[in-house]
């Protein structure tokens, strides 16, 4: 794994870097072959909170978790626990749903411990409770943000009048806006 560790309002010390690499390196035990993906780690300090975000993009799977704590090392431990739960949960789902499909099933080690029953919601199936259909009006991103704010939503799907593709604008936790567009 290649590590990309950066700090926001924080200097990444060698001991902090070593701790992250050691902890994330322990995730390799869950895979048959060690993933050759990049590991993006962002550590930041916000007032009294220490925040850690870890993203590991892999083929057919994206592992991502973030955690806040008053201690940076504790935040790293918590975010690693979240990633381990994600891996175990994903392995359990893959074994249930894709028994004959080789695409994802053999990505993980077979002796991987399954997710405990407390960690799985009672209804593990995805339950779509409502479907909406509407025409996508061509507009630019700024107009889409205005429409989203008028409706009081936190995201808005629209047809980009410049590119012609379907895009999504969304409101971020920091109050600013994001745009999702296809590659």
Give 10-50 pLDDT, tens digit per residue.
899 999 999 999 998 888 887 766 667 788 999 999 888 89
Q: Tell me what pLDDT residue 127 has.
A: 80
What are the contacts of 95-102 at 24+ separation with CB within 8 A? Answer: none
Q: What angle do CA 166, 167, 172 make, to 5 degrees?
A: 160
Q: Tell me what pLDDT residue 130 has.
A: 85
Sign of CA dihedral 64, 68, 73, 77: negative
With cut-offs at 50, 70 and 90, classify the pLDDT of residue 91.
confident
112 has a pLDDT exceeding 70? no
Q: Are 180 and 170 in contact (CB under 8 A)?
A: yes
Q: How many CA atoms lie within 13 A of 2 on its CB side?
A: 5
Q: Tell me what pLDDT residue 35 has.
A: 65
With cut-offs at 50, 70 and 90, classify the pLDDT of residue 106.
very low
| The CATH number of the domain covering residues in 138-180 | 3.30.505.50
Domain boundaries, the chain: 2-105, 138-180
User: How crowded is residue 102: how many other Cβ atoms within 10 Å of its Cβ?
Assistant: 8
| The CATH number of the domain covering residues in 2-105 | 3.30.160.100
Q: For residue 170, give the 3-state DSSP assignment.
A: strand
Q: Are 160 and 141 in contact (CB under 8 A)?
A: yes
> pTM of the predicted model, to two decimals?
0.57
């Amino acid at each position: 794994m290649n590590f990309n560790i950066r700090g926001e309002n924080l200097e990444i010390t060698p001991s902090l870097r070593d701790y992250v690499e050691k902890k994330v390196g322990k995730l390799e035990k869950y895979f048959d072959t060690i993933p050759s993906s990049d590991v993006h780690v962002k550590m930041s300090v916000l007032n009294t909170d220490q925040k850690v975000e870890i993203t590991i993009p892999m083929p057919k799977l994206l592992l991502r978790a973030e955690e806040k704590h008053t201690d940076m090392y504790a935040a790293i431990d918590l975010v690693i626990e979240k990633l381990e739960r994600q891996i175990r949960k994903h392995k359990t789902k893959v074994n249930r749903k894709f028994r004959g499909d080789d695409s994802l099933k053999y990505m993980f080690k077979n002796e991987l411990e399954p997710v405990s029953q407390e960690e799985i919601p009672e209804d593990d199936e995805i339950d779509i409770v409502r479907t909406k259909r509407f025409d996508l009006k061509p507009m630019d991103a700024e107009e889409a943000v205005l429409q989203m704010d008028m409706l009081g939503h936190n995201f808005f799907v629209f047809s980009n009048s410049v590119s012609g593709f379907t895009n999504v604008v969304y409101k971020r936790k920091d109050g600013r806006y994001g745009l999702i567009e296809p590659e």
